[in-house]
Structure 1
Amino acid sequence: MTVRTTLVAATAVALSLALAGPAVAAAPAGGDHETTREAIEAAVKDGVPGVTATARTGHRVWATTAGVGNLKTDQPRSVHDRYRVGSITKTFVSTVLLQLEAEGRLSLDDKVAKWLPGTVRGNGHDGRRITLRRLLNHTSGIFDYTADDDFVRTYFLKDGFLEHRYDTKAPADLVAIAMTHKPDFAPGTSWNYSNTNYVLAGMVIEKVTGRPYGDEVRRRIVEPLSLNATSVPGTRVTVPGPSSRAYSKLAETTTGPTYDVTKLNPSLAFSAGEMISDSSDLNRFYSALLRGKLLPPKQLKEMKTTVPVEVIPNAGYGLGLIDRKLSCGVHVWGHGGGIHGSTSEAVTTADGRHSLALNFNGDWSGDTDAVIEAEFCGKES
């Protein structure tokens, strides 16, 4: 789920503690990745504790790290680190729903109330007027439960998080929080990113299939692609190894103490952002997706049909997939994700040939856009 635990803007901003370590290269891909490495090291100088990144071009792989994975021991990050991927989960969820559509088990034009009667109701919300498609492209108008003030205080600020980090939240409870607010707009009249949309999408998958959405992700995507570092943790509070620690300010500012937030119950994100993966797996997933290995042509075209996104320049939002035009004219498709102590990006070119995935193990600083620009355009943004 895209949640900035410091409550700053949608991309991370400055940090007071810089612990730069030497970059570590593995399996050079041919071609010059020096500008990518420079952008990664700049993020550490800006305050990100550590970065891990992997680029893939065809069968050639280049991977690097900078900074540290543990502030206490100075242990470096690893190119094999697993990490919480936040809203990158949304692309997996959307893929499953589109597969179900291809099988004739649902239609994206179905109303939410068909599958979840009475769930989206209250304060102007009406699931009888919202299609599944509007959930996936964030044009539903449904309020984002992570923007609720009480939820923020309980799960994203220091006192609340330290007391409630192991709480289990049911997806229906997360939706119920959103229903205590008015919609952001009438369905289809605007765009606003709402994690509630994808909690509902996961609930629809479960209603249609009769199985946990995570089981469907594993059966349909993780196992066929042999994504051995990728998991849907449910209520498991730890990140499997190899992995680094995750850090946050747990505050409304980017200064002050830094807290280890590695352990948490990810049910607070559910199908909006609970998954764990590594950079190699994410590259394999997005490359396979864009190459048509997971969806028939009709459904992939639907996924790539975008609506304008004013908050991201030169970008459009499809169905759990973002199209971004970079400064050099290259288009990359993918998604970003933020959750406590973790900021991630995974993108690939339209042909799936050139992919990049990266993770910052801090949620309050650094510029992921600069790394993407450097990799695909050969310069920092």
Structure 2
Amino acid sequence: MKNPLDSAGLDAAIENVHRAGMPGLFAQVRDGDQVWRGAAGVADVTTGRPVTADMRHRVGSITKTFTAAAVLQQVESGRIGLDTPIGRYLPQLVPGERGDTITVRMLLNHTSGLAEYLPHAYPSLKAFPALAETGPESLEDHRFTHFRATDLIGLGVTAPAVGAPGTTPGLYSNTNYLLLGLLLEQVTGTTAEHCITRDVIERAGLRHTGFPATPYVDGPHSRLYEAWFGMIDPPRDHSVHDMSWVGPSASLISTVTDLNRFYGKLMAGEIVGPSTLAQMQRTVPVVSQEGKVIDYGLGLHPMRDPGKETFWGHGGTVWGGGALAMIRADGRRRLAVAVNLQRWNGLDSSGRPRPHPIDDALATLFRVAMYG
């Protein structure tokens, strides 16, 4: 058997992430019929309640793969054209020349040139922290604020373009996926959340995955601790938060078991057809939110070590929480992991995150999980 699961190694690796400073994390690794599930640390630093591997969790931008799959199902049905300009569907949101030039594909792979709305949200909507202008208290102030997607999209569309449509490298932007959510609403006559639930979540047979109806996480879950690069000390729980600030871009709640099942179904051609999956895996260079150039497809991106096998998937962060899901190209080896602390790195004098022991410990966990 090639690279069988190393249960003892995985147990040690996940514990080392906790020892490096992560309050709690949990994961599932699969290889064919072999399954390892593990958890380390606490879900609540005050009570000491432990994390467990079956907890529900905010999975952030992993939501983008679900949204992309729903859009591509509509492409398969002929209701959406992958290379049709978005202005054909939503002219009021992306008017003029850009609406005539930016295609659905460009939204999916972040080459639209539309800016990320988050840096503009504080001065325009008095929400979210901008390091140059305010402190992280804005997170607390807007814990229960409900935003309209059209307002957030407007910030991204009216901000200076970050590039000409279709040019690379693209820039990762949540504005793109909020537009895709409204595109789904336009062509299906229902909300994006309902469409994704019906056509993707239920189709994949996911029992513990869904969009939040309230600022709360239903079911067993961890508190989510936001450190904001050391500016919130001790880190503050943000597991209760209105997720309308990201909507179908990053608001999904799931479990590590459901994430592994979803990516398995996707790679098997059971969510979208094989030719559409091949489109999802056609990548272009995109600048990530961390400022790194990555390869990005249509709601998927590859992750690999040089000379080793390629994994496909997505990562995600929200206030206080993070998750990563990846699957080997042959569909056998899968990893899904969730953590309950975010922005644990302090910043150096130039404003860049300093290395932290958690970074190395997580990298080791990923290597043991993916390659044995």
Verify same fold: TM over 0.5. Answer: yes
SS at match of 1:127: helix
SS at match of 1:80: coil
CA distance in 1, matches of 2:287, 2:192: 31
Indicate the residue corresponding to 2:127 in structure 1. Answer: 154
Is residue 283–residue 357 contact of structure 1 (8 Å, CA) maintained in 2? yes
Indicate the residue corresponding to 1:286 in structure 2. Answer: 263
Which has the higher mean CA deviation after the structures are superposed, 35-44 or 216-225?
Answer: 35-44
CA distance in 2, matches of 1:309, 1:38: 34
The one-letter code of the counterpart of 1:370 is T
Query: Offset of 1:370 from its aligned partner?
Result: 3.4
Is residue 254–residue 364 contact of structure 1 (8 Å, CA) maintained in 2? no
Distance 1:320 1:206, change over 3 A: same
Is residue 84–residue 276 contact of structure 1 (8 Å, CA) maintained in 2? yes
Indicate the residue corresponding to 1:353 in structure 2. Answer: 332
CA distance in 2, matches of 1:351, 1:65: 26
CA distance in 2, matches of 1:176, 1:253: 31
Indicate the residue corresponding to 1:95 in structure 2. Answer: 69
Equivalenced residue count is 346
Query: Offset of 1:353 from its aligned partner?
Result: 1.3
The one-letter code of the counterpart of 2:267 is L
Distance 1:349 1:30, change over 3 A: closer
The one-letter code of the counterpart of 1:75 is R
Indicate the residue corresponding to 1:140 in structure 2. Answer: 112
Query: Offset of 1:254 from its aligned partner?
Result: 5.8
Is residue 314–residue 324 contact of structure 1 (8 Å, CA) maintained in 2? no
CA distance in 1, matches of 2:172, 2:4: 38
SS at match of 2:171: coil
Quick one: which of 168, 182, 201 aligns to 2:180? 201
SS at match of 1:154: coil
SS at match of 1:120: coil
TM-score (norm 1): 0.86
CA distance in 1, matches of 2:25, 2:363: 14
Indicate the residue corresponding to 1:118 in structure 2. Answer: 92
Residues 1:258 and 2:220 aligned together: no
TM-score (norm 2): 0.88
Is residue 315–residue 325 contact of structure 1 (8 Å, CA) maintained in 2? no
Query: Offset of 1:308 from its aligned partner?
Result: 2.5
Indicate the residue corresponding to 1:181 in structure 2. Answer: 159
Matches within 5 A, 1:258-277: 258-277=235-254
Unaligned runs of 5+ in 1: 1-28
Is residue 130–residue 140 contact of structure 1 (8 Å, CA) maintained in 2? yes
SS at match of 2:313: strand
Is residue 121–residue 179 contact of structure 1 (8 Å, CA) maintained in 2? no
**Deviation sequence 1:32-74 (CA, Å, 0-9, x none):** 1333333322322222110010011122211000111001111
SS at match of 1:128: helix
Matches within 5 A, 1:155-174: 155-156=128-129, 157-174=135-152
**Deviation sequence 1:273-323 (CA, Å, 0-9, x none):** 010000000000001101111111221111111112465879521000011
Quick one: which of 65, 68, 76 aligns to 2:42? 68
SS at match of 1:359: strand
Distance 1:225 1:115, change over 3 A: same
Indicate the residue corresponding to 2:285 in structure 1. Answer: 308
Indicate the residue corresponding to 2:365 in structure 1. Answer: 371
Unaligned runs of 5+ in 2: 130-134, 345-357
SS at match of 1:229: coil
Identity, in percent, stands at: 35
